[in-house]
Amino acid sequence: MVIKEDIIFKRSKKGKKAFNLPQKDDIKTLFEKYKDDIREYTSEDFPNLPELSEVDIIRHFIRLSNMNYNVDLGFYPLGSCTMKYNPKINETVSAFSGFRNIHPLQPDYTVQGALRIMYELSEYLAEISGMDAITLEPAAGAHGELTGIKIIKKYLESKGEKRKYILVPDSAHGTNPASTTLAGYTAKTIKSNKLGMIDIEELRKNLNDEVAGLMVTNPNTLGIFEREIKEIAELVHKAGGLMYMDGANLNALLGYIRPGDIGFDVIHFNLHKTFSTPHGGGGPGSGPVGVKAFLKDFLPGVQVIKNDSGYQRKETGDKSIGKLLAFFGHFAVMVRAYTYIRMIGKEHLKSISENAVLNANYLKQLLKVAGYEIPYDSIPMHEFVATGAPIKKKYGIRTLDIAKRLLDYGVHAPTVYFPLIVSEALMIEPTETESVETLEYFAEVMKKILKEAEHTPEIVKTAPHNTPVKRLDDVYAVKNLKVKYEEIEDKNERRDS
């Protein structure tokens, strides 16, 4: 059944309500009693809210939720996003009343369990990454990037060095240049070689005393491990710069490689990726940052320490980059990640990476057999990138068309058109949580779409056909961005007609 749902204002009827308030006289009495704590709203202040009964409200939002694709519903092969299944035990533990009902301003002695989780999670992340100190404060991955680059900047400035540039490979995540810019540096691109790794000669040409560091996504967005990373780190350190690792692809390394052991000085983690906590739709996320010992004093905000009195929060010192979040990070996400790590155990961390890498390589081979081209066709790690360029040239079918057609088969599309160094890119990451049957179904669907591109291309070009919302007019949306209700109505009518 295809569910259709109007916007909530269309269902609004004057006089409907989902609540009962006291009579008018009682409201006046209540207002007089609490007038110092609240402000009186005038009719001009009052928000324009829809009027519906409780059952109408509930059914509206339940219908909307059923229209939403999610990782509990099906395969979500977003390359570089590690959309693995989130075990429900994580949700159960994070919802314990002792975690759910606390407040960050409570005294330390009343939240010892929460502080212990923060302390031990930091210890686990330090051990996993080979770093010496951790901050849990950053709200998400890109926020972690900004934190890490600001730490590098503050450290270099403490030595009297005001450098200008951060080097960023063309195979890095798209957020890296943005984080660099926000931190006050200029990003310089380093090209990849024909194997899809950092071109060391290009790196040498760009290294000088104005370079603050190198940001590396490792494995990179092609799913390829930077095999010359130790030599790269030596070159950057010799030039006085620091090594930053974007840890979004850490799912490929767990238990095998610790970034701190191969030359990295700073790393951010994506708890909502590697450590299996829900993400998407703008949050919640969590992007802890790990640093080597010489950078510990520059960490932001508050650290949790352990002493004879138990666990305590301690403000960082004068060298700190300062707070980057109102309190101490997204605690409920930390609880989920902590639960996940404890459930997996140190002895099974390797199995996460082993299965993620195995799944990616198996699926890559299935797609090659199905007729898709892999431009950087070495043995990948947790993800790989196919190209739709030959299909576009032969049948006029774009990567976007393939992605849209996948939705008709109940599969979320992979990341498309990224990384930019691959034309018509399809970036695919199956993660370790997917079964062989799921991978084979995905490959079979991709094979069907390729046949459709040859024999019935219009079906692919006009997809999706079975989703609540059909192919949208992207160009119209960009050129005519309107948020007024009347404009939305007109657009829906235009689309439906």
Chain centroid offset of residue 286 CA: 9
Return d(Cα 122, Cα 338) in angstroms, integer: 9
| Residue 2 confidence (pLDDT) | 59
Which pLDDT tens digit goes with each residue over 6-58?
A: 889 999 998 898 887 666 666 677 777 777 766 655 555 566 889 999 999 99
Return d(Cα 214, Cα 87) in angstroms, integer: 35
* Segments in the chain below pLDDT 70: 1-3, 21-27, 37-47, 280-283, 483-497
Which pLDDT tens digit goes with each residue over 105-125?
A: 999 999 999 999 999 999 999
- CATH fourth-level superfamily of 353-466: Aspartate Aminotransferase, domain 1 (3.90.1150.10)
Strand 425-428 to 302-307 pairing: unpaired
The string over 145-179, giving b where at least 16 C-beta atoms fall within 10 Å of a residue's C-beta and e elsewhere, is bbbbbbbbbbbbeeeeeebebbbbbbbbbebbbeb
Maximal C-alpha separation, the chain: 80
Return d(Cα 476, Cα 491) in angstroms, integer: 9
Nearest in space to 209 (alpha carbons), one of 265, 159, 266, 151? 159
Domain ranges of the chain: 8-67, 102-344, 353-466
Return d(Cα 416, Cα 428) in angstroms, integer: 9
Return d(Cα 455, Cα 451) in angstroms, integer: 6
CATH class of the domain defined by 102-344: alpha beta
